[in-house]
Structure 1
Amino acid sequence: MSSKFDTYQKRRLKSSYFSVIISIALVLFMVGVLGLILLKSTKVANHFKEKVAINLFLKDEVSKKEIRGFTAFLEKEPFTKKVIYISKSQAARDYSREIGEDFLTFLGKNPLKNGVDIYLKADYVTSEKMLALEQRFQKNAFVADVTYDKPLIQLLTKNIQRISFWLLVLSSFFALIAILLINSSIRLTIYSKRFNIKTMQMVGATKSFIRKPFLWRSIQLGMLGALLSLIGLAIIVYYVDKYIPALELLKDYITLVYLVSGVVVSAFLITLISTFFATQRFLNLQTDELYY
């Protein structure tokens, strides 16, 4: 009879451990997916920002040699991502292609100017910084005019700030849910052993001695849950990279390191802290309070 009861208890204990691992894995997977979105949102935002260009139209009297020197100078500027020189003849061909007819046959001459498109690094694509660059280039002796899409910059900045804010709020919410769910799972597991804890305490075992195996077991369960969640995240990353290659997920080693580190550290800290306080609670209970 005792043997059957022990077998039942062991089976029940394994089932409890399994449910804890699955709970941790599911919660960490959910948080990991949201963390991945949060980490990649910056890259996606930067990708769109770096498509924005400031258009410099050069004066007619600027020579080709001066233009080469000017573009070489711009390429070395800290705000520059890429510089593209567009000659007035190239600009005329592009414009004729857009309107579907050769406008030069009507005008007799090319009214367009040589231009330089400066694609900026993401950090410089803000209304304030681009206005400062515009004012700077307007004072340049080679530049006749400076243009860029101001409404687009304002809209882009506003939307990126709004999306980043709500992603941060959502991430914080799910992180809180993760902590509560994992904490509840671990507390239930320790609750089932509250009588063992009190028995060990009654025979003279110290609190640290009693707590140690619970902490170690919870950390092991947390790491197993983290491993399962990382396997799920690896599958997600693989398929996202396959169908949306522009994100370059598999090549973005920094993001992947942050993601893996975040999941593992979260699993370790949450299980460690939850187990510590759960065991502390039962260690401080009186014997008659264990039945409530």
Structure 2
Amino acid sequence: MAQYIERYQRRRLISSYFSVVLSIALVLFLLGVLGVLVLNTKKLADHFKEQITISVFLKDNAKPVEIDQLQKSLAMADYTKSALYVSKEDAAEQYSEDIGENFQEFLGYNPLKNSVDVNLKAAFVSPEQVEEIAVGIASKTYVDEVSYDKPLLSLLNDNVKKLSLWILIASAIFTFIAVLLINSSIRLSIYSKRFIIKTMQMVGATKKFIRKPFITTNLKLGILGSLLALLALAVVLYYVNSNFPELNLFQDLTVLIILFSGVLLLGVLISYISTYFATQRFLNLRTDDLYY
């Protein structure tokens, strides 16, 4: 009978520890994913910003030397990520592929113009800066027109600001929820041992002596849960980076190391604080209050 009770108690203890580790791991994993999202919001926004193209259409009488000089000057400009010359013949061929028919046979001539497609660096992609750049390029005598999608540019900038704000708000809310969930799991684990705590106190054990094994145990569980969360996070990051290499998730290893260290530290810190205050609560309760 005594062995059966001992096995039952051991199973309950293991089940309690497993639930604490699992809850810590799941919450910290989701928090880590959100942290990656926060850290890569700017990178993702920059990626979309750098897809904005300024098309510089050239006059038909523009000399080859002028075109070459323009392309080189644009490529070397501080605001330029890439500058690609597109001849009117290449543009016509691409347009024909897009519409599925040769429009030159219908028109009898090629109405398109030679152009230079300029992609800007993300730091220079704002309505004001792009307009200033476009005006400067258009002032050249051999430039016929400078064109870019103004509505798309304004929409992109507005949405990036909104997205950044909402991600920060979501991060703050989720961090608060994570603390509450981990705290609740640890408190429930200690609640099941409230009579043991009170018994130790009644035989003369100090509060520090009683708290120590609970803090040590839950710190170990917190570290284990954090490591499981980091392992799952590393697997997800590897999978996403393999399928979307343009995101370059492993480009800045220092940031990832700081994020992983923060998740681990958060798991340990929450485990320690929650255990301390949970044991303190039961230490301060009267014996009669333990039944409620």
TM-score class, shorter-chain normalisation, is 0.7 to 0.9
Residue 137 of structure 1 and its aligned partner are, at CA, apart by 2.9
1:215 corresponds to: 215
- 1:154-207 CA-to-partner distances (Å, cap 9, x unmatched) read 222333334444444444333332221110011112223334444555566554
Residue 152 of structure 1 and its aligned partner are, at CA, apart by 1.3
Between 1:128-137 and 1:146-155, the stretch displaced more is 128-137
**Aligned-partner Cα distance in 2 for 1:228–1:122:** 36
Give the 5 Å matches for 1:121-140.
Answer: 121-140=121-140
Residue 20 of structure 1 and its aligned partner are, at CA, apart by 0.7
Residue 121 of structure 1 and its aligned partner are, at CA, apart by 1.9
**Aligned-partner Cα distance in 1 for 2:181–2:43:** 31
Q: Which residue identity is paired with 2:273?
A: I
Matched, 1:147 2:147: yes
Q: Which residue identity is paired with 1:85?
A: Y
Matched, 1:231 2:235: no
2:80 corresponds to: 80
**Aligned-partner Cα distance in 2 for 1:173–1:112:** 53
Query: Secondary structure in 1 aligned to 2:83?
Result: strand
**Aligned-partner Cα distance in 2 for 1:106–1:92:** 12
2:102 corresponds to: 101
Residue 149 of structure 1 and its aligned partner are, at CA, apart by 0.5
Query: Secondary structure in 1 aligned to 2:85?
Result: strand
1:32 corresponds to: 32
**Aligned-partner Cα distance in 2 for 1:43–1:104:** 45
- 1:208-258 CA-to-partner distances (Å, cap 9, x unmatched) read 444333323222111111222233334434444455455455666466435
Give the 5 Å matches for 1:160-199.
Answer: 160-199=160-199
TM-score by length of 2: 0.79
Residue 25 of structure 1 and its aligned partner are, at CA, apart by 1.6
Structure 1 residues 66 and 185: CA distance shift in structure 2, 3 A: same
Query: Secondary structure in 1 aligned to 2:135?
Result: helix
Between 1:212-221 and 1:249-258, the stretch displaced more is 249-258
2:44 corresponds to: 44
Structure 1 residues 63 and 283: CA distance shift in structure 2, 3 A: farther
Query: Secondary structure in 2 aligned to 1:23?
Result: helix
Residue 21 of structure 1 and its aligned partner are, at CA, apart by 0.8
**Aligned-partner Cα distance in 1 for 2:116–2:243:** 35
Residue 102 of structure 1 and its aligned partner are, at CA, apart by 5.9
What is the number of equivalent residue pairs in this alignment?
291
TM-score by length of 1: 0.79
**Aligned-partner Cα distance in 1 for 2:2–2:94:** 89
Query: Secondary structure in 2 aligned to 1:9?
Result: helix
Q: Say if 1:40 and 1:255, in contact at 8 Å, map to a contact too.
A: no
Query: Secondary structure in 2 aligned to 1:272?
Result: helix
**Aligned-partner Cα distance in 2 for 1:125–1:104:** 39
Residue 89 of structure 1 and its aligned partner are, at CA, apart by 4.6
Q: Which runs of 5+ in 2 are unaligned?
A: none
Matched, 1:158 2:143: no
Q: Say if 1:26 and 1:229, in contact at 8 Å, map to a contact too.
A: yes
Structure 1 residues 98 and 191: CA distance shift in structure 2, 3 A: closer
Query: Secondary structure in 1 aligned to 2:77?
Result: coil
- 1:56-76 CA-to-partner distances (Å, cap 9, x unmatched) read 234566544444344333333
Q: Say if 1:57 and 1:114, in contact at 8 Å, map to a contact too.
A: yes
Query: Secondary structure in 2 aligned to 1:78?
Result: coil
Q: Which runs of 5+ in 1 are unaligned?
A: none
Instruction: Name the Cα RMSD after superposition.
Output: 3.5
